[in-house]
Amino acid sequence: MRDKQEYAKRIHSAFDFAGRQLGHLIEAQPDFFPMYTRAGKWKHAGDAWTNWCEGFLGGQLWLMFSYTNDEWWRDKAIHYSRLIEQRKRDDTVHDLGFLFWSTWRRWQDHAPEDFINDVLVEAGRTAGSRFRDKGQYLPSFVSEESSFIDIMMNVGIIFYAARESQDQTLWEKAAKHCHTTRRYLIRGDGSAAHEGIFDTETGEFLRESTHQGWRGDSSWARGLTWAIYGFGTAFRFTQDRRFLQTAEACAAYYIEQTAEHGLPPNDWSEPNPGEPFESSAAAIAASAFLQLAELSADSVRASMYQRYAFRILDTLLGSAFLAIDTPNWEGVLKGGIYHQARDLGVNESVMWGDYFFLEALLDALHILTGPNAAVTARPRC
């Protein structure tokens, strides 16, 4: 790791830059929820494919409040959190964790209130209501027969709702989904399938598939990072060591497959990638590795995870990825990919990439400059 003070200075400068970009976005496009840029601009007519990103803007505003303690950011964060409240009853997507964990859960951490908890519990119950007994999994938005690795990022809010409402059945649904994912979507080498297809009549697992990766049997990088992060979160809730082992196996695969700089391509199996990097997967990985560093029982491995996360962030803080020197670019991190096969958000900024980048940077800053007990980088479990 470079000199600590120098590293912290680069993080402060990235936060200042992110604040300028976010301030400009919410002033220029009030109440707009961007997903990915086109030629660096957030507002365009590009397709969304699905609606899973509406928490990441509010989430970044909460992170700016955590970083600055400035009420201006808190008020904006509350405003953008409230704008998505009605999604707590949306049972058409598998993504309510993405929406509410990044926003309302952060709000609850800053200023606990019953009404915030009620929203989180309702969102978690809605997410859990999608559970299928046949097959023991939460289906993706695509169809009842499909489950995604991404859903691992959405079980935390179900565990939370189950605990807060003392609903053992709901808790078991979340745990069973994790076990099903572990059994069918995580492979023996620690790689992950993007999608699993099940027989809806019998619940039998049929095959691996993908939408955003290269092939059904390949490993889409962002999917793997959802697994590292999501199984880590599942362990934080349950203390079930099998989930920690899964997160660690996936982390080992990430490290094994990725070059020294820590940035993966969109899919490790793609023979000649059109774009060499997928920066949002790297940002998620940085935060997931920092979380693993806190969870791992093995101190040598824990320091290795921390060092690896710092290496990824070092690369992302360089001007090839941080848009600080790119005139008229509206995002924070360049080089993300949303959906390569549909040509959506390829080599662009993506909202979740910026969100997890700031989350990882805040955690890294606490490590470098001393912990801030009042503010955790990741929402509390």
Please give the sequence-ordered ranges of beta strands (E in DSSP) within 236-381, or none if there are none: 336-339, 344-348
- Which residue among 54, 145, 150, 248 contacts ligand GLY (CB under 6 A)? 150
Quote the CA–CA distance of 145 and 201 in Å, as a whole number.
Answer: 9
**Is residue 56 a contact point for ligand GLY (CB under 6 A)?**
no
How far does Cα 105 stand from its chain's mean position? 14
Smallest distance, ligand GLY to C-beta of residue 212, A: 6
How far does Cα 34 stand from its chain's mean position? 16
Residue type, 280: S
3-class secondary-structure state, position 208: strand
- 216-235: contacts with ligand GLY (CB under 6 A): 222
- 4-33: contacts with ligand GLY (CB under 6 A): none
Count interface residues toward ligand GLY (CB under 6 A): 5
Please give the sequence-ordered ranges of beta strands (E in DSSP) within the chain, or none if there are none: 146-148, 195-198, 205-209, 336-339, 344-348
Quote the CA–CA distance of 89 and 116 in Å, as a whole number.
Answer: 15
- Which residue among 52, 73, 231, 305 contacts ligand GLY (CB under 6 A)? 52
> Which residue number, 119 or 227, has a Cβ lying nearer to ligand GLY?
227
- First and final CA of the chain: distance in angstroms? 29
For 272-339, give the DSSP string.
S-SSS--HHHHHHHHHHHHHHHHH-S-HHHHHHHHHHHHHHHHHHTSTTTBGGGSTT--SSB--EEEE
Smallest distance, ligand GLY to C-beta of residue 222, A: 5
- Surface-to-core class of residue 64, CB atoms within 10 Å of its CB (0-12 exposed, 13-18 middle, 19+ buried): buried
> Which residue number, 279 or 306, has a Cβ lying nearer to ligand GLY?
279
Smallest distance, ligand GLY to C-beta of residue 226, A: 7
Smallest distance, ligand GLY to C-beta of residue 115, A: 29
> Which residue number, 137 or 310, has a Cβ lying nearer to ligand GLY?
137
From residue 191 to residue 220, what is the string marking binding to ligand GLY with x (rule CB under 6 A)? ---------------------x--------
3-class secondary-structure state, position 170: helix
- 240-279: contacts with ligand GLY (CB under 6 A): none
> Which residue number, 123 or 170, has a Cβ lying nearer to ligand GLY?
123
- 313-352: contacts with ligand GLY (CB under 6 A): 338
Nearest-CB residue for ligand GLY: 150
Smallest distance, ligand GLY to C-beta of residue 219, A: 14
| Contact footprint for ligand GLY (CB under 6 A) | 52, 150, 212, 222, 338
